[in-house]
Amino acid sequence: MLMQQTTVSYPRLGALAESARRCGPLRVGVVYPCERSALEAALEARDQGFIEPVLVGPSERIHAAAADADISLSGVEIVEAANAPAAARRAVALAGSGEIGALMKGSLHTDEMLGSIVGRESPLRTGRRTSHVFWFDCPAYHKPLMLTDAVVNIAPGLPEKADIVRNAVDLAHGLGLSNPKVAILAPVETVNPALPSTIDAAALCKMADRGQIAGATLDGPLGFDNAVSLASASTKGIVSLVAGEPDILVVPSLDAGNSLYKSLVYLGGAACAGLVLGARLPVILTSRADSKQARIASCALAALTARHLAH
């Protein structure tokens, strides 16, 4: 069971895992899985019923990594590719032809992976900016919480932030939230011309009012405290449909998002999963520092999300 990875109880993560199992395994292209951690996570996600891995890369190196980890590759499909860039291109081609329903980063560099997915000739490219969304089961919070973008977009402008919100809202819809509540974070909760993040937050909310961002309730700018705490919002006199109840937190930059993500995991004890969205299928973009639990949970999240995107 996914829940057995830690001694802390994560009921919302367990519910996510059970929902993913009910969908049946998703064929996932694991790109250049030439290190032990990448292979272990993919095969354990298979054993837990989330994915059917297709390993894309040099078979000799993949078998060597499996032998080092004492893992059997019996029955696992391997698609030959000479090196990391070739593996990324081959996996994108397989995804474009519909042979796999998601991609998972192995031991290649992130830019090699994403470059093939969003490149000019990629069949997975859409008109939307790609962005990363973390999904958390936070012991201190009363429901699942999403955070975007803490991985891909460094300093997004307003058009990029609009797509970042749209991608996260799509993920929420795929998880059964018909009208997620979105908090647009900034250092303060008032619009201040000296803080561009507050102006962008206000503009995003007005875009939602005008239907340019649909399917969610947005509010911002909100500080982190009055976004997640109704008591804090009330103390400051903030009247909001989102304060204290957000499903999604949108950060102004990667600096802020990455620090918040790591704070939630390392100090807040949160379990997490993460995906890159905005392409025609979900991308599991894990870090070498991610736990096995996070990698497997990301596979479960992809299994749920891929079905929604396909429709």
Q: What is the pLDDT of residues 190-235, one digit of tens each?
A: 999 999 999 999 999 999 999 999 999 999 999 999 999 999 999 9
CATH number for 10-125+279-311: choose from 3.40.50.10950, 3.40.50.300, 3.40.50.720, 3.40.50.1000: 3.40.50.10950
The residue count of the chain comes to: 311
Which amino acid belongs to residue 165? V
For 129-277, CATH gives: 3.40.718.10
Q: What tokens does 4 get? A: 């057995």
Domain boundaries defined on the chain: 10-125+279-311, 129-277
Residues 83-121 have pLDDT tens digits of 999 999 999 999 999 999 999 999 999 999 999 999 999
Strands (E), the chain: 26-31, 51-57, 77-80, 102-105, 131-137, 145-148, 181-185, 217-222, 248-250, 271-277, 283-284
Residue 13 has pLDDT above 60, yes or no: yes
- H/E element, 24: none
Given pLDDT bands bounded at 50, 70 and 90, which one contains residue 63? Answer: very high
Residue type at 157 in one-letter notation: G
Q: Exposure string (b/e) for 174-205, b if CB count within 10 Å is 16 or more?
A: bbebeebbbbbbbeebeeeeebebbbbbbbbb
Q: What is the pLDDT of residues 245-261, one digit of tens each?
A: 999 999 999 999 999 99
Res 2 pLDDT > 60: no
